[in-house]
Chain A
Amino acid sequence: MSALDILLWVAVPYISLAVFVVGHIWRYRYDKFGWTTRSSQLYENRLLRLGSPLFHFGILLVAIGHIGGLLVPKSWTEAVGISDTAYHVVAVVLGVLAGACTLFGAAILVYRRRTVGPVFSATTRNDKLMYVLLVGAIVLGLGTTVLGNLTADPHDYRETVSPWFRSILILRPEPALMAAAPLGFQLHVLVAFALFAFWPFSRLVHVFSMPLGYLTRPYVVYRSRDEQLGSRPTRRGWERVP
């Protein structure tokens, strides 16, 4: 195992994940005000109405697929009697479908960003980098899946990528597994980790604001006035008397 393997399949993932976690904590504490979807729907709705749901629902499916594929060991699915071929067919069909939706949605959104004037001028450099990484990861992932399955003997990532990813998570990295995977998977993984490292500093943070609490909270929220009245902090000795 070369030093490069260690670097790519041990160091890079850990650094990326660390940046991902610490970055989010830092951003949440430092920049709650900047934590937003920064929607551009006000400027343009016709393309967004099509592209945005396609992309977002697609990528949610893709995410669920990845969680299943990466975290559930092959032995478990076999234990409940799902044959390898059945699993593979379902995974490929659903994966390609969801991936295609995502990519198509993303294409519409990128096209919209580029051609609709107000949307384009509201696009920051940060957004552009994010788009490159995100679309890059999607294209590589989808391409690997499609091309791999065109060959007679598609690579079974559940023998290499998945156990390697789990080995990272349980802090006993086995870089050799990943080093044995085909180039397509390797590139996809590397771009994905670059995306993870960039994530907390981009608008992608809004993923973690998925407002599921809305389903259960009371409709109208009451809150007490801030301790601080007016617009500057209370000075010592002038605190509110209960």
Chain B
Amino acid sequence: MRVMAQMAMVMNLDKCIGCHTCSVTCKQAWTNRSGVEYVWFNNVETRPGLGYPRTYEDQERWRGGWTVNRRGRLKLKGGGRLRKLLTIFSNPKLPSIDDYYEPWTYDYDTLTSAPLQEHTPVARPRSLISGEPTKITWSANWDDNLGGAPDHGHRDPMLKGIEDKVRFEFEQTFMFYLPRICEHCLNPSCAASCPSGAIYKRSEDGIVLVDQDRCRGWRMCVSGCPYKKVYFNHRTGKAEKCTFCFPRVEVGLPTVCAETCVGRLRYIGLVLYDADRVLEAASTPDDTDLYEAQRRVFLDPNDPEVVRAAERAGIPRDWIEAAQRSPVHALITTFKVALPLHPEYRTMPMVWYIPPLSPVVDVVRDTGHDAEDHGNLFAAIEALRIPVEYLARLFTAGDVEPVNAVLRRLAAMRAYMRDINLGREPREEVAMRVGMTGEQVYDMYRLLALAKYDERYVIPPAHAEQAHGLEELATECSLDYEGGPGMGGSGPFGENSGGASPIAVENFRMLRDRQTTDTIAAPLDKDNRVNLLNWDGKGRPDGLFPPREHPGGGDPAGEVEPKP
């Protein structure tokens, strides 16, 4: 037994309102730079839907993740090492920018500088890739809320074979939101596909990162990741991916996407697992057994033997305690309501999901039945084959049994808690119907509905004794490091050469650079164009306002000239 700790997340899909706050805050924090305009470390997709990038789940096309070969050995679906090297000059399975979307900005400048004319001037979209005027035809969540679903909803790879049974008419369809971040897999195929060995899994907390100094831009990781959560920065020529906000997690703060989640549906905690059994579990012959196989890799942090082995493996005491209190462990193993996303990719993903009961509840309520009654809900779960089958394709490689079991537990919780809320005697038999005790159901309810910040996020800081010097604590200026903030500018080989700068500072600098120069979108008249998206409201970026007529004084009232 080789015990390792993994930082993991669980999302409760019933509570996601599809507000995209998580995506936007993550973008503001980490990918608000040129070259990564199209990059969404966190994206929220409406399901059924195409996802981002479009149809990324169709592994027959993209060939991401792992597969078992005829001899039962695990191998990369995109081909082995030699094949990777032979196709290195032109990656055959790389999504093009059209499979994502062409990022754009608007030439806001025309709003202020257009000459007097009959019609109101408009800001037209301009591609951030070529700088040319463009037509917006797709974006990261173009099919949000089933937008356009009657036209392309059937192209959702997970609907294969049941396309004609899913109704996309507004009243008849079911839908839910699926927020996605990198899975920080136990068996990451992105790392396995990287020829340079630049992608690594941190041995302390399992976070998967790209070493920006070792990445050489071979792009194999983009193809290798079945979730398409590695992106290629087209300006720096390096791969970038969700970092699980490691600078925050290291000091015990939740990730940006979790912290800002409006639905408070994200749980972060540690999971202990046996690293020696990962390969074996990932090689499980039958796709539908992978969910169970992965769960068996996890270790019980309350088992004294596991604790001893963890201590021997050098896992600090407070981390073991955090693993014991971990909400993620509770949801996955104790309550068994969380399921992995696409276990059939065999990467052993570590962001798990509580499937939504709401499609079922909605149908029961719409038919005029009591949607809080466990009997009605149980019957509906059995009867509503399509939503359940669809969920099973996402979370259990198509096996409806585990999904049914989870939904029944959620339904039982609903019914059990209603009695309590109405001041009635709770019925133990409701809990027993799903193999739980009333107390367990109540605990689960507490965790899902009431849990406070420190119960939802149990993150042991990497080293508390260091906390004072760490970036995210505001006791010192975080830009106060050797070399100064944003002083460096760019190296001699373009804007993205030179030494690596701290992430926060890099973002700061990029933001400033983009406020003042935006060469890709505004090649000629860059001085009088400004990207409003990145303007934080401070200062006066050149070109945002008309030039002051009388710089350096004079009667301010005199500047307000009547405009024609």
Contacts and interface: CB of A to CB of B under 8 A. Distances in A.
Whether chains A and B associate is yes
Given A41-B91, A220-B188, A225-B204, A238 B469 contact: yes
Interface string A197-237: 00001000010010111110101111111000111111100
A209 B212 CA distance: 14
A39 interface: yes
B202 A231 contact: no
A38 to B, nearest CB: 4
A43 B235 CA distance: 11
B465 A30 contact: no
Main SS at interface, chain A: loop
B196 A211 contact: yes
B471 interface: yes
B131 interface: yes
Interface in B491-524: 491-494, 496-500, 502-505, 520, 523
Nearest to A47: B90
Interface string A126-157: 10000000000000000000000000000000
Nearest to A220: B191
Interface string B222-244: 00000000001011111000000
Contacts of B170: none
A34 to B, nearest CB: 3
Which has the most chain B C-beta neighbours within 10 Å: A42, A49, A126, A225?
Answer: A42
B218 A33 contact: no
B247 interface: yes
B97 interface: yes
B463 A229 contact: yes
A12 B201 CA distance: 47
B481 A52 contact: no
B236 A121 contact: no
Interface string B140-175: 000000000000000000000000000000000000
Interface stretch (B44-52, B80-88, B110-118): B80-88
Interface string A40-70: 1111110011001101110000000000000
A49 to B, nearest CB: 5
A184 to B, nearest CB: 29
Contacts of A238: 465-466, 468-469
B403 interface: no
B214 interface: yes
A104 interface: no
Contact of B234 (A33, A35, A43, A233): A43
Nearest to B209: A223
B94 interface: yes
Nearest to A120: B130
Contact of A53 (B90, B212, B494): B90
B191 A219 contact: yes
Contacts of B499: 30-31, 33
Nearest to A41: B94
Scoring B194, B237, B472, B520 by chain A CB atoms within 10 A of each residue's CB, the highest score goes to B237
B202 A211 contact: no
Contacts of B131: 117, 121
Given A30-B499, A234-B466, A41 B219 contact: yes
A229 B253 CA distance: 13
B217 interface: yes
A215 B250 CA distance: 34
B471 A230 contact: yes
B200 interface: yes
B336 interface: no
**Residue from B200, B469, B500 whose CB has the most chain A CB atoms within 10 Å:** B469
B497 A33 contact: yes
Given A43-B129, A214-B85, A223-B203, A36 B90 contact: no
Task: Indicate the member of A37, A40, A48, A213 with the most B CB atoms within 10 Å.
Answer: A37
Contacts of B235: 122
B503 A231 contact: yes
Contact of B491 (A34, A42, A118): A34
B34 to A, nearest CB: 11
Contacts of A225: 202-205, 250, 462
Given A33-B497, A41-B90, A220-B191, A230 B197 contact: no
B461 to A, nearest CB: 9
How large, as a class, is the contact surface on chain B?
A: 35 or more
B187 interface: yes
Contacts of B481: 232-233
B518 to A, nearest CB: 12
Nearest to A48: B90
A15 to B, nearest CB: 20
A241 interface: yes
A42 B212 CA distance: 19
B234 A40 contact: yes
B405 to A, nearest CB: 32
Interface in B243-265: 247, 250-251
B234 A31 contact: no
B192 A219 contact: yes
Contact of A121 (B90, B505, B520): B520
Nearest to A239: B466
A121 B130 contact: yes
B219 to A, nearest CB: 6
Contacts of B470: 229-230
A41 B468 CA distance: 44
Contacts of A53: 89-90
B132 interface: yes
Given A32-B214, A201-B493, A223-B203, A215 B482 contact: no
Contacts of A117: 130-132
Nearest to B92: A49
A229 B250 contact: yes
A76 B212 CA distance: 46
Given A118-B130, A121-B520, A209-B196, A215 B216 contact: no
A131 to B, nearest CB: 16
A53 B86 CA distance: 9
Contact of B216 (A126, A206, A221, A234): A206
Given A117-B132, A241-B465, A37 B472 contact: no
B128 to A, nearest CB: 10
Contacts of B188: 220
A52 B89 contact: yes
B97 A42 contact: yes
Contacts of B502: 231-232
Contacts of A215: 81-82, 85
B434 interface: no
B195 interface: yes
20 contacts: A33-B499, A35-B216, A37-B217, A37-B218, A38-B237, A42-B232, A43-B96, A45-B94, A55-B89, A57-B89, A206-B216, A206-B217, A211-B195, A217-B197, A229-B462, A230-B251, A231-B247, A231-B478, A232-B471, A240-B463
Give the 10 A-B residue pairs with the shortest CB-CB distance, closest first.
Answer: A34-B497, A231-B502, A211-B195, A38-B237, A219-B192, A32-B213, A230-B470, A230-B471, A36-B237, A117-B130
Given A34-B493, A231-B502, 8 more contacts: A33-B496, A43-B97, A49-B90, A55-B89, A206-B216, A212-B85, A220-B187, A223-B200
